[in-house]
Structures are given as structure tokens and as C-alpha cells.
């Protein structure tokens, strides 16, 4: 009896230790640079910048990548952190390359690295500027929740505006500029030496605000001074009746009146001076895109947002 009991204890102990080992193995954070599929010449490409403190990938990011895949067959996913092993399988169906390495240069550092990869692959120099179907270069990041069912109508509309580069919204803090959470460039811009040179200046800064002031804010005027034409999907002048320069402070107006495809995640932090009721923002998303609402709630729980209480009915 004693021998049997001792055997049982040993077996259970081994099982528990093995379980802990398996849990650690599955959740350990790794640095990776993994090619999933070759980058196809002639297809639009997205460089998607991300960050996660625990190395996980939220479901709203996967939904965003899935929608991007419809308009951009090539996606390079670069996250400024190590990544949990189990998350790689989630990303694989939607990405050509996954890079998870701490570089400390925020999203602009990820954009810089992505452009360098495209340069090495010859993608930047293999586009016909004159073609209406010329591939686009998209810079996007995980700071926004996709609330639109698809991005196709936005790209269809913007293709008629004859802009050399465009974004969703603009801001007048500092100087007028397209906001860098979503930027799209034609070959005329991304094939230029000046475009690549700008990104090559990106380096580590002390915080995100410094990154924005040094790289995001001057970028639009830098390109316009070179003769390139810009456009915002939601024209800034149409929002002039909203007092604050950053129109993302008015999420209900952007979503309800102007059909904004994204909601800034900063809406549910203290880093955005939100002028609308967050409870009404939650309600709008739940009514118009239940899946996006569920993914939003799950992410806010993960980051322990103090504004989750506003989601109650």
C-alpha cells in the first residue's frame, strides 16, 4: 500500500512538473525573424507595426490583418517585442514575414525595418508607376480597432482622388499632417530615394510623443515639399467645426457621420482627450460590429483599461 501510494505521488509530481514545463514552453517569449511566404512582386504590401507587453497578439489585430489581406496580399508583421510561440500560428495565415524583436524605436522603427526588407527583396524597384494597378505600400499599426467590415471601399474611393500618398485622418498639432496609424503610398513616392532616406533617420527616442513629433508630424510636409500630393480620406477641413486639433477626440462624429473605418484604441486610455461619452462609443461599436466589440472588450480586459466599466449596459 505504501509503495503504491509512493508511486502515485511520484507519477502525479512528474505530471505536474511536466505540465508546468509544457506551459512555460508554450508561453515563452521568443525573438524571431521568420519567413512564412515569399513577398510577391506586383502585389501591394503592408508593413504592420505592433507592440505587446506580454508577447501576445490580440484578436482585433488578427481581424485587422485579415481585412488588410484583401487589399494587400503581402504583409510584413513587425512587433517591437518578443512573441509567445503559440501566437505565431495565429499570424501565419495572414503574413509573409513575422519579425518579433525588441528595437525600442516604436512603430516608425518597425516601418524602417520593413522598408529595408522590401528594398533587399527588390520589391521597391519593381512597380510600374504608370499602371492604375500599381502595387501600393501601406504603413499600419495596432493602435486602431477596425470597425469597418472591409477596407475595399476606402481604397476604391482614394484611387479616384489621384493622390500620391494618403491617410484616413489628419491632425494640425504642430503642423498639418496625415496621422501615421494608416498611410498609403504609390510607387511614385515609395520608389524615391527621399522616402527611404527619411525612414533611415529613425532612431530610438525617449518616448512615443518624441517619436510622433520627430517623424510623424513633419512627414507630410516633407513629402509635399518634394512635389507629392497628399489626401485624407476624411478631409480635415470638413472637421473644422470640432475645436480640438486631433479629431480622434470625437470618435462618435468620425464613426457615425464620416464612416471612419477605425477607432483609435487611445479612446480607452488617458492618452486621448476624448470629448464624447465612452459609453456611447461602446454602444455604437456593439450595435454596428458585434465582433469588433467583443474583440475590443477582450483587449481592454487584457490591458486592464479603467474605462471597461463604461461598457456596461
Give the residue with greater pLDDT, 304 vs 10: 304
Mean pLDDT of the chain: 91
Angle at 101 between CA 100 and CA 107, to 5 degrees: 85
Flag whether pLDDT at 10 surpasses 60: no
- Residue 156 falls in which region: left (phi positive, over 0), alpha (psi -120 to 50) or beta: alpha
pLDDT at 206: 95
Question: What's the rounded Cα separation, in Å, for the pair 82 and 28?
Answer: 9
pLDDT at 81: 97
Q: Is the dihedral of CA 108, 115, 31, 100 positive or negative?
A: positive
Confidence of residue 134 (pLDDT cuts 50, 70, 90): confident
Residue 146, C-alpha cell as written in the block: 477596425
Residue 73 CB neighbour total at 10 angstroms: 17
pLDDT at 28: 83
Residue in the structure block whose three cell numbers are 483599461: 305
Cβ within 8 Å of residue 112, ≥6 positions away = 105, 199, 200, 202
Each residue of 164-188: b (16+ CB within 10 Å) or e? bbbbbbbbeeeebbbbbbbbbbbbb
Question: What's the rounded Cα separation, in Å, for the pair 19 and 132?
Answer: 56
- Is residue 88 within 8 A of residue 57, CB to CB? The reply is no
- Residue 174 falls in which region: left (phi positive, over 0), alpha (psi -120 to 50) or beta: left
pLDDT digits (tens, 9 = 90+) for 192-239: 999 999 999 999 999 999 999 999 999 999 999 999 999 999 999 999
Flag whether pLDDT at 21 surpasses 70: no
- Is residue 164 within 8 A of residue 230, CB to CB? The reply is yes
pLDDT digits (tens, 9 = 90+) for 61-120: 999 999 999 999 999 999 999 999 999 999 999 999 999 999 999 999 999 999 999 999
pLDDT digits (tens, 9 = 90+) for 140-189: 999 999 999 999 999 999 999 989 999 999 999 989 999 999 999 999 99
pLDDT at 312: 73
Confidence of residue 16 (pLDDT cuts 50, 70, 90): very low
pLDDT at 26: 45
Question: What's the rounded Cα separation, in Å, for the pair 129 and 271?
Answer: 39
Amino acid at each position: 500500500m505504501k509503495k503504491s501510494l509512493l508511486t502515485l505521488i511520484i507519477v502525479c509530481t512528474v505530471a505536474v512538473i511536466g505540465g508546468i514545463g509544457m506551459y512555460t514552453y508554450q508561453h515563452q517569449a521568443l525573438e524571431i525573424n521568420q519567413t512564412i511566404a515569399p513577398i510577391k512582386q506586383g502585389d501591394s504590401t503592408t508593413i504592420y507595426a505592433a507592440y505587446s507587453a506580454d508577447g501576445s497578439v490580440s484578436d482585433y489585430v488578427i481581424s485587422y490583418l485579415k481585412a488588410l489581406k484583401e487589399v494587400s496580399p503581402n504583409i510584413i508583421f513587425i512587433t517591437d517585442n518578443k512573441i509567445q510561440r503559440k501566437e505565431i500560428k495565429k499570424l501565419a495565415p495572414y503574413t509573409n514575414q513575422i519579425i518579433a524583436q525588441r528595437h525600442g524605436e516604436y512603430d516608425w522603427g518597425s516601418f524602417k525595418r520593413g522598408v529595408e526588407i522590401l528594398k533587399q527583396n527588390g520589391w521597391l524597384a519593381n512597380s510600374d508607376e504608370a499602371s492604375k494597378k500599381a502595387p501600393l505600400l501601406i504603413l499600419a499599426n495596432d493602435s486602431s480597432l477596425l470597425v469597418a467590415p472591409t477596407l475595399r471601399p476606402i481604397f476604391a474611393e482614394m484611387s479616384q482622388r489621384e493622390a500620391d500618398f494618403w491617410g484616413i485622418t489628419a491632425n494640425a498639432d504642430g503642423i498639418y499632417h496625415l496621422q501615421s496609424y494608416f498611410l498609403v503610398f504609390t510607387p511614385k513616392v515609395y520608389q524615391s530615394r527621399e522616402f527611404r532616406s527619411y525612414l533611415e533617420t529613425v532612431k530610438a527616442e525617449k518616448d512615443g510623443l518624441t517619436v510622433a513629433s520627430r517623424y510623424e508630424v513633419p512627414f507630410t510636409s516633407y513629402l509635399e515639399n518634394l512635389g507629392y500630393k497628399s489626401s485624407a480620406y476624411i478631409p480635415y477641413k470638413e472637421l473644422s467645426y470640432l475645436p480640438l486639433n486631433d479629431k480622434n477626440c470625437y470618435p462618435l462624429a468620425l464613426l457615425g457621420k464620416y464612416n471612419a473605418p477605425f477607432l483609435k484604441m487611445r479612446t480607452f486610455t488617458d492618452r486621448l482627450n476624448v470629448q464624447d461619452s465612452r459609453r456611447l462609443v461602446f454602444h455604437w461599436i456593439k450595435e454596428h460590429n458585434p465582433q469588433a466589440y467583443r474583440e475590443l472588450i477582450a483587449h481592454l480586459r487584457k490591458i486592464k483599461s479603467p474605462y471597461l466599466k463604461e461598457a456596461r449596459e
